[in-house]
Amino acid sequence: EPEVTQTPSHQVTQMGQEVILRCVPISNHLYFYWYRQILGQKVEFLVSFYNNEISEKSEIFDDQFSVERPDGSNFTLKIRSTKLEDSAMYFCATGQARETQYFGPGTRLLVL
Amino acid sequence: GENVEQHPSTLSVQEGDSAVIKCTYSDSASNYFPWYKQELGKGPQLIIDIRSNVGEKKDQRIAVTLNKTAKHFSLHITETQPEDSAVYFCAAPGGNQGGKLIFGQGTELSVKP
C-alpha cells in the first residue's frame, strides 16, 4: 500500500538556522498539506498546496515559512530562521481529493 | 471558523468491551468527518470517515455515527483489543476551500488485557 514518506525523521537545529523538511507524496495525489503537533497537543494545520500554489495558510504560517514542489514530486517545508517555539512534530499529508488526507510519519524538529 | 471538541480525553476499557469517543463541531456547513488513530511516535492514520449524506458507516469493528442536527459524531470500537490502544483524533473541515482539517484534542484509549 502506498504511503507518504518524510525525511528526516529527526532534526536538531540551532535557533536562527534554516531547516527544510521533505515529503514524498503518494504518487497520484494532488493535494498537499503540512500540519504540526506540539508534544501532547492536537494536530494544527499550517498550509495547503494545490496546483503549485498555496490554497490556504494558518496564522502560524508566517513569512518565516515557505513551501514548494521543487521537482514535481517532493513537497518541502522551509523554516528560514527557526525559533524555540518551532519545536514540534511536523506532518505532511496528501490526498487525491481535497479533504481525504493521508499523513506521513512526521519529522521531529528540535530547536535549541 | 470551525471548532471541534472531543471527549473524553482518556478512556480505559477492558479487552473485549466497546469504546465510544464523541466529537462536536460548530459549523453546520461541514460535510466530512474523518477519524485518525495515532500510535506512539507515528503519524495519524486515517481509520474511517463519514460524509454528511449518511448517518452511519461501519468497517469491521469500527463505526462512525453522525447527527447533523445536533452537530456531533462518534467513533465506536467494538470487541476492543490491546492493539487498539492509541490516541484517536476526530476532525472536521476548516470551512474554506483549502481542505484544512480542524482536529479535536484527542482521546487516549487504553485497552487492558
**What is the tens place of the pLDDT at every residue in A84-106?**
999 999 999 999 988 899 999 99
Q: Are B27 and B33 in contact (CB under 8 A)?
A: no
Separation of alpha carbons B83 and A41, rounded Å: 22
Taking alpha carbons only, the member of A24, A86, A75, A106 closest to residue B36 is: A106
Minimal C-alpha gap between B38 and chain A (Å): 10
Q: How many CA atoms lie within 13 A of B67 on its CB side?
A: 10
Tens-level pLDDT at each residue, chain B (113 residues):
789 999 999 999 999 999 999 999 999 889 999 999 999 888 999 999 999 888 999 999 999 999 999 999 999 999 999 999 999 999 999 877 778 999 999 999 999 99
At which residue does the C-alpha cell 498555496 appear?
Answer: A54
Query: Which chain B positions have a beta carbon within 8 Å of A91's beta carbon?
Result: 43-44
A90 touches chain B (CB under 8 A): no
